[in-house]
Amino acid sequence: MLKKHISMAKEEEQGKLGIAYLKTIWASVMLQKEGVVNESTQLKHNYVTAVFDALGIGIEPTYKYVFESSPSFEQFEDWILSNGQVSQEMINLFNLAISSSNQKLQDQTTENNVLDKKALDHWDKEGYIIIPNAITEDDIEASLDVIYTHLQIDPNDTSTWYEDHPLKQGIMVQLFRHPQLDKNRFSKKIQQAYKQLWQRTDLIVSNDRVSFNPPETDTYKFPGPNLHWDVSLKRPIPFGLQGLLYLTDTPENQGAFTLVPGFHRKIDSWLENLPHTVNPRTYDFQQLGTKPIAAKAGDFIIWNQMLPHGSSPNTGIQPRVVQYINYQPIHREIETEWI
């Protein structure tokens, strides 16, 4: 039987794509298809998601292909290559992260720092920071061109801002991979800021979406998302970061990213004292003191994941366009209970 000819691959084993752990994933799926389910075929969830982020492909369609086609590993890699352009930078970052024996950031020189003492003091107090000029003006223009082209939007024709498109899900746009978006992900300022805040070197970058939030009209109203958390509220809530890149100048009324400053210092006591009949996820966060974050195109915002956060209604005259970018450790504890 097939399972006699397949064994679990070593984590560091690579094929022609040059990415570690991919063969381990393939072998595990193939063995489980043949009924071999044991401790050796179990995969590390954080490694799996990181591999698929690096390759820019979806987990569900990939597993479906392997189950239905039973490809050799070489055929599996060919299938991945046929589904889009692979980023060597993403692969290199993943390989470096899982092989990192020195996870803590050491020998940090001040000349590499993006965040000075004032910025870090603000981070500790408020739970968010703004990094000015994280990408160049040329990259801003190129990024907007990519998004507008994919959405078939003319920035000078307001009627095109509201037309339906298969990539649109509310204000979220299912556009994940493009060389320009990858270039933004690898901004040295963004990378270094995350390293400073995490104080770790085993960081991988997310394969996240972009967002297009047009002004409200008589016939179009902001669909959300409103303030929320993207983390389980099971305590202790782990330290974690999130970030977004403004691609348009964004004053407070232009659908600005909004959060509750300093809530990372209060969340434990707030949850403790919240009546049992109140669902924290449906709470009226306006009562907690929300703040819209105005910033320029090219500025990057990082926030502590304990802060309630979200987009806001755009009552301005121009769209708000952003790219979500996050770095997190590959060697991290994965939450198993969602509260």
Residue span of the structural domain in which 27 resides: 2-98
Residue at 83 is within a domain: yes
Q: What is the CATH number of the domain that holds 237?
A: 2.60.120.620
Rounded average pLDDT over 293-322: 98
| Tokens matching residue 339 | 């509260």
* 188 Cβ neighbours under 8 A, 6+ residues apart: none
For range 208-215, the mean pLDDT: 97
Does this model's pTM top 0.85? My answer is yes
Query: Is residue 185, in this structure, part of any structural domain at all?
Result: yes
Domain boundary among 66, 98, 130: 98
Q: Are residues 158 and 14 in the same domain?
A: no
159 shares a domain with 294: yes
> How confident is residue 2, by pLDDT bands cut at 50, 70 and 90?
very low
Which residues does 212 contact at the CB level (< 8 Å), separation at least 6?
A: 147, 151, 153, 161, 168, 171, 173, 319, 320, 321
- Check whether residue 70 and residue 131 sit in a common domain: no
pLDDT digits (tens, 9 = 90+) for 235-249: 999 999 999 999 999
**Distance set, CA 251 to CA 25, 91, 165, 317 (Å):** 45, 36, 26, 11
| pLDDT the model gives residue 331 | 87
Total domains present in the chain: 2
Query: Whose CA is closest to 66, among 10, 13, 128, 22?
Result: 22
Q: Please tell me whether residues 90 and 65 are part of one structural domain.
A: yes
The pLDDT tens digits of the residues spanning 291-304 come to 999 999 999 999 99
Do 44 and 152 lie in one domain? The reply is no
pLDDT in tens, 132-166: 999 999 999 999 999 999 999 999 999 999 999 99
Q: Please tell me whether residues 88 and 114 are part of one structural domain.
A: no
Q: What is the DSSP letter of 314?
A: B
Supply φ then ψ for residue 130, to 5 degrees.
-115, 125
Do 114 and 174 fall within a single domain?
yes
